[in-house]
Chains A and B, each alone.
Chain A
Amino acid sequence: MCRAGSGGSVDDVIEVRELTKRYGRTVAVDGLSFQVRPGTVTGFLGPNGAGKSTTMRVLLGLDAPSSGEALVNGGPYTALRRPLHEVGALLDAGAVHGGRRAFDHLGWLARSNGIGTKRVVEVLEQVGLAGVARKRVGGFSLGMRQRLGIAAALLGDPGVLMFDEPVNGLDPDGVRWIRGLMRALAAEGRTVLVSSHLMSEMELTADRLVVIGQGRLIADTSVRELTDRFARGVLVRSPRPEELVGVLAAAGGTVEAAPGGALSVAGLDVAEIGDRAAAHGIPLYEVTPRSASLEEAYMQLTAGSTEFGAVAS
């Protein structure tokens, strides 16, 4: 990997400016703008039909924008002469010819961008498919196809990588592997954009998040900022809860009963709660700040943006 220690290049940037994409009367992406910087893993989140895959397709020049721009390294993807050297993408792991061998699949991709056979062997080893390189792709599991798609994305040693649902079909070892791979790629200074529905996975993998709903930007933030924004106060346990409620309410806190006899306090932080309780001689058994999980934050953020939802029974 040529980028190790480089700290990234200012050119390795994904930039979407006021992008709108319509299919007939359906607006898939609606005035979307965001930027993805090198050296980070950026999660691309949104409910089904939010426009994530459409945005990625426009970025790769597969679909033409109705208006606005989607740029990679400062220009449109379609202007790149040998794009695999600059951008690697995994859109659909199933989009391969089942009758072709894995080695041949990567072989034609390499040939199309002037990449040597040696590199094909390298990426097959990197994704753990060296042993099945001569097998036909039709016999591969979904997880193996995902690995093959990731190998194709890595083929040109690009500075920008886009993965659409990369952990689909991977077993736990595979999930851990792709998590480590994405972190390593970002640490080498590459720009990594990953769309996923798995919030727990994004919480472990992503540094920043771009959240969209119904084609529009909902949030462009760090994981920490997002979970903090939806923090749910402080959980407090005390043997004298009635007294504590009065003290904290007088200090400006909002106190609600929580399961198990605990109190949920909003509007005061841990230190303020501890100080007030100590000043009144009220013992505390537990004071725990309750940050929202990414999934909870995401659900609150995208509430009302889901296009498809089941009716509660």
Chain B
Amino acid sequence: MAAEWRKLRSVRSTFAVLGVVAAFALLCVAWSLYAAHYWDGLSQARRATFRSAPPEQPLSIALPVCAVLLGALPTTSEYASGMIRTSLAATPRHPILFSAKAAVPGIAMFVAALASLAVGVLAGKAAADGRPIRAFDAPFLDHVPYLLAMAVTTAALTLMTAGLAAVLRSTAGTITTGMAVLFVVPPVANLLPDPWSERVWSVLPSGLADQMARPPGASSARDGLPPAASALLLAAYVVVALGVGARVFARRDA
């Protein structure tokens, strides 16, 4: 774990990914300031019906992308350069090395997600400055379940991608597959006739955070899985992805 952490923090791609997270946290601040400014220009009647995206909305786009990148690169970049052989020569027990390759970026993304989401929500509250904007004015503790759901989902996506990376061994293949699951499959699922549209959407990884916990002041709730079922499904995805990844990692020649 310590060696993988040293690897992760000694390459520029890690800082680029975490920099994107930080940049989107700043975007949350900008979004909150804009929402507050917009609110000030509304009439009383419009304010009563005004619905805004929550302050952490920009991060809900960036975090899954960054999770896929950080989950893939520690494994696929080593296959690309051949350095995986050096890693295995230093740590010949495949399960230990694979666990570290998944856990270290998973923990890093969990911490980065939680910190950036907290910054986003706190910035929203500061920008709202007492204005009764729905999604901004709830107490911080009301946001915590959703922030945790988002952070856990981000970490889970990182772990799932690590498993996928061990199977595909290709940076392009792994990232393309991850992006397709996150951004191509959900719109395609929406094209399906009811009730299949809702059913398929509800089991996709990208929709599970919203089903585990709703952000305060969310405008509408789609029918979906109960929170516990969503969490269990997410855990099942992680277990399957890591299980398959670990098996392939251990059995295939390096």
Q: List the interface of chain A (C-beta within 8 A of B).
A: 57, 60-64, 77-80, 83-84, 87, 89, 91-92, 94-101, 104-105, 107-109, 111-113, 152
Q: Distance (Å) between the CB of B89 and the closest chain A CB?
A: 5
Also in contact, A152 and B86, with CB within 8 A (given A108-B7, A111-B2, A112-B3): yes
Whether the Cβ atoms of A94 and B81 lie closer than 8 Å is: yes
> Which one of B3, B83, B93, B253 contacts A96 once the chains associate, using CB atoms below 8 Å?
B83
Also in contact, A57 and B254, with CB within 8 A (given A92-B82, A95-B82, A109-B3): yes
Whether the Cβ atoms of B93 and A62 lie closer than 8 Å is: no
Q: What residues on B are CB-neighbors of A80 within 8 Å?
A: 92
Whether the Cβ atoms of B6 and A113 lie closer than 8 Å is: no
Also in contact, A62 and B3, with CB within 8 A (given A83-B90, A97-B11, A104-B10): no
Q: Once bound together, how far apart are the Cα atoms of A113 and B89, in whole Å? A: 11
Q: Once bound together, how far apart are the Cα atoms of A105 and B81, in whole Å? A: 13
Q: What residues on A are CB-neighbors of B92 within 8 Å?
A: 60-61, 77-80, 83
10 more A-B residue pairs beyond the given contacts A99-B11, A109-B86, with a C-beta to C-beta distance below 8 A:
A57-B253, A60-B88, A60-B89, A62-B88, A95-B85, A97-B7, A97-B77, A107-B10, A113-B90, A152-B86
> Which one of A94, A98, A100, A108 contacts B3 once the chains associate, using CB atoms below 8 Å?
A108
Whether the Cβ atoms of B11 and A100 lie closer than 8 Å is: yes
Size range of the chain B interface in the assembly: 20 to 34
Q: What residues on A are CB-neighbors of B91 within 8 Å?
A: 112
Whether the Cβ atoms of B90 and A109 lie closer than 8 Å is: yes
> Is B13 engaged at the interface, CB distance under 8 Å to the other chain?
yes
Interface members, chain B 200-254 (any A CB < 8 Å): 253-254
> Is B12 engaged at the interface, CB distance under 8 Å to the other chain?
yes
Write the B81-115 contact mask toward A (1 if CB under 8 angstroms, else 0).
Answer: 11101111111110000000000000000000000
Interchain Cβ contacts under 8 Å between A and B, 22 examples = A57-B85, A60-B88, A60-B92, A61-B92, A62-B253, A63-B254, A64-B253, A78-B93, A83-B92, A91-B86, A95-B81, A97-B77, A97-B83, A99-B11, A99-B13, A104-B7, A105-B10, A107-B6, A111-B3, A111-B6, A112-B2, A113-B90
Q: What residues on B are CB-neighbors of A105 within 8 Å?
A: 10
Q: Once bound together, how far apart are the Cα atoms of A152 and B82, in whole Å? A: 15
Q: Once bound together, how far apart are the Cα atoms of A92 and B81, in whole Å? A: 10
Q: Name the residue on A nearest B253 (C-beta).
A: A63
Q: Once bound together, how far apart are the Cα atoms of A91 and B90, in whole Å? A: 13
Q: What residues on A are CB-neighbors of B13 within 8 Å?
A: 99
Q: What residues on B are CB-neighbors of A109 within 8 Å?
A: 3, 86, 90
Whether the Cβ atoms of A95 and B86 lie closer than 8 Å is: yes
Q: Distance (Å) between the CB of A213 and the closest chain B CB?
A: 23
Whether the Cβ atoms of B81 and A97 lie closer than 8 Å is: yes
Whether the Cβ atoms of B88 and A96 lie closer than 8 Å is: no
Closest 6 CB pairs of A and B: A95-B82, A112-B3, A104-B10, A108-B6, A63-B253, A62-B254
Whether the Cβ atoms of B12 and A99 lie closer than 8 Å is: yes
Q: What residues on B are CB-neighbors of A104 within 8 Å?
A: 6-7, 10
Q: Distance (Å) between the CB of B108 and the closest chain A CB?
A: 15
Q: What residues on A are CB-neighbors of B78 within 8 Å?
A: 97
Q: Distance (Å) between the CB of A55 and the closest chain B CB?
A: 13
> Which one of A62, A99, A111 contacts B89 once the chains associate, using CB atoms below 8 Å?
A62
Q: Name the residue on A nearest B251 (C-beta).
A: A64
Q: What residues on B are CB-neighbors of A57 within 8 Å?
A: 85, 253-254
Q: What residues on B are CB-neighbors of A79 within 8 Å?
A: 92
Q: What residues on B are CB-neighbors of A96 within 8 Å?
A: 81, 83, 86
Q: What residues on A are CB-neighbors of B93 within 8 Å?
A: 78
Q: What residues on A are CB-neighbors of B10 within 8 Å?
A: 100-101, 104-105, 107-108
Task: Name the residue in B4, B7, B86, B92 with the highest tally of chain A Cβ atoms < 10 Å from its Cβ.
Answer: B86
Q: What residues on B are CB-neighbors of A94 within 8 Å?
A: 81-82
Q: Once bound together, how far apart are the Cα atoms of A101 and B88, in whole Å? A: 20
Q: What residues on B are CB-neighbors of A63 within 8 Å?
A: 253-254
Q: Name the residue on B nearest A153 (C-beta).
A: B89
Q: Distance (Å) between the CB of A215 and the closest chain B CB?
A: 16
Q: Once bound together, how far apart are the Cα atoms of A151 and B36, in whole Å? A: 58
Write the B11-29 contact mask toward A (1 if CB under 8 angstroms, else 0).
Answer: 1110000000000000000
Q: Once bound together, how far apart are the Cα atoms of A152 and B90, in whole Å? A: 10
Q: Distance (Å) between the CB of B81 and the closest chain A CB?
A: 6
Q: Once bound together, how far apart are the Cα atoms of A99 and B13, in whole Å? A: 9
Q: Once bound together, how far apart are the Cα atoms of A84 and B93, in whole Å? A: 13
